[in-house]
Each structure stands twice: as C-alpha cells, then as structure tokens.
Amino acid sequence: MRLLLASPARRTLLAASRAAHPHEACGLLFGTREGASLEVASASVAANVAAEPRRRFEVDPAHLVAAQRAARHGGPAILGVWHSHPDGPARPSRADRAGVTDPDWVWIIVAPPVIAAFLPDPETQDGFRPLPLGAGGV
C-alpha cells in the first residue's frame, strides 16, 4: 500500500504544524481509497483540545462530527488523522498507539520538514506500519 499526498494537503500540514509550535497541531485527512491506493487530496486543521497540547493531541470532537456528517452527505471521505510532533521525530509515540480508535485510518505525523505516514497494525512491535509516501494530485 502507498499513500499519495497532494501538494495543497502537504502545505496545510507543514504550515499548521509550524504555526502551532510548541503545541501539537492536528486535523483530518480527506481523499480516496481504492484497493491498495490511497490519495490524500486535502487536510483540515482542527483545534487540539488535549489537556496537554504540547505532548498530546485530540481532534476537537465537533470538528470530527462535522466532517463525518459532511462525508455522509456527499462531502469528502475521511481517510485518517494527522498531527505534529513539535519537538520529536515523525514516528508514532506510545500515546499515539494508545489513541488509535479506527484501525483503517491513515496516520500522518509531521515533524517539520518531515512528513511520515503510517497504518495502525497490532501485529507489529510498535503498533504501526510505515506507509511509503509520494506526491499526488496538484
């Protein structure tokens, strides 16, 4: 499986991550999934409502519900979630592993300028499988 990240989504992730520093930025990923092909066309930026936003992220539930409602009514499909690691590497943390609620969602972690993609995978030692990341779309 490979993930393609459109340029506008890439720019959103990097800009929001830098703007939120030293807090974690977060949001949702939208696009298409066809078999082993995933393409993130856009990304939203949500309020991080975690109690410790410097070390954790929690997408504002109202943002998530609005995106789910829009998807049910013909809006873009939610492919997953993204967040930043302002002072750490772009790889899943213990807190990230504990936060997986949908095993089919793609996770993107941003540690500017690095962007990395993962799929939850309980069969692996760290609970995530890296996804090759390529440029897609415009």
Question: Would you give per-residue pLDDT tens digits along the chain (138 residues)?
Answer: 889 999 999 999 999 999 999 999 999 999 998 888 899 999 999 999 999 999 999 999 999 999 999 999 999 999 999 999 998 899 999 889 888 888 889 999 999 999 999 999 988 888 899 999 988 765
What is the residue range of 99's domain?
2-136
**C-beta neighbour count of 25 within 10 angstroms:** 27
pLDDT of residue 119: 93
Residue with tokens 């997986």: 100
Residue type at 43?
A
Q: How many CB atoms lie within 10 A of CB 4?
A: 19
Query: Where in 36-100 does DSSP place strands (E)?
Result: 37-43, 77-84
Percent helix, strand and coil across the chain, each rounded to 5?
Answer: 20, 40, 40
- Considering its fold, how many domains does the chain have in total? 1
Contact 38, 2 (CB under 8 A): yes
pTM summary value:
0.94
pLDDT at 125: 81
- Catalytic center residues: 24
Torsions phi, psi for 28 (to 5 deg)? -115, 160
pLDDT at 2 (0 to 100): 86
CATH number at residue 71: 3.40.140.10
| pLDDT score, position 99 | 86
